[in-house]
Structure formats: structure tokens, C-alpha cells
Amino acid sequence: KNQVEQSPQSLIILEGKNCTLQCNYTVSPFSNLRWYKQDTGRGPVSLTIMTFSENTKSNGRYTATLDADTKQSSLHITASQLSDSASYICVVSLVGGSQGNLIFGKGTKLSVKP
């Protein structure tokens, strides 16, 4: 069964600290993996997107890694800011398949405290 699991479910960190969010997937055949940031009450916004041949991709203080062999991805946030408080959703795209070819994780809710 194609699934995307994220951990932790929620995370609280202090402003200025780093954190890493995890995404494990059992999706095949894999096309690409993307991370979205969703502020409360808003639509998700794309942070990074990686194909199976890309191991890492950065977007400012956000760095995503992908290990297609172990089917794991991580999103590392450096020097967190209060505005990073949001849900972070991992989405895996598969070649063919159902659900419009996209499998969503449930997200990790990050709270950055001053």
C-alpha cells in the first residue's frame, strides 16, 4: 500500500534552534518528493521538490534530503524563526497510480517559541 508517514507529529523548539523533520514512504514507482509549509488557516506552499536522482535541495534556511534507497526524506530547518511555526507536509508523487498520483503525509506541526 502506498503510504507516507511523518514524524514527529508535533514539535516545539526555541527560536534560533535547528530542527529536523522526517518523512518515510512506501510509494512505488516513485517520481518525486516535495515538502510543503502550511500556515494555520492558509493553503500549503511548496518549499522543495526532488526527483529520485537528487539527494539534497535547499531553499533558504530549509534543506531537504532524500535517500531513495531507504525511502526516507528529511527537512532540516536552520536557525528557526517564529514565522517557521506551521505544519510541514511531505508529499510523494508516483508514476501512474491513483489519487492523482500524489500521496500526502499527515504533516508535522512545528511551534517555534521565543
Partner 1 sequence: DTGVSQDPRHKITKRGQNVTFRCDPISEHNRLYWYRQTLGQGPEFLTYFQNEAQLEKSRLLSDRFSAERPKGSFSTLEIQRTEQGDSAMYLCASSSSGGMYTGELFFGEGSRLTVL
Per CB under 8 A, residues contacting partner 1 are 31-32, 34, 36, 41-46, 49, 51, 89, 91, 93, 98-102, 104-107, 109
Distance of closest approach, residue 103 Cβ to partner 1, in angstroms: 9
User: In terms of CB distance, is 21 or 89 closer to partner 1?
Assistant: 89
Nearest to 7 by CA among 101, 100, 86, 74: 74
User: In terms of CB distance, is 25 or 36 closer to partner 1?
Assistant: 36
CB-based burial label for 45 (10 Å; 0-12, 13-18, 19+): exposed
Q: Are strands 56-59 and 4-7 parallel, antiparallel or unpaired?
A: unpaired
User: In terms of CB distance, is 51 or 81 closer to partner 1?
Assistant: 51
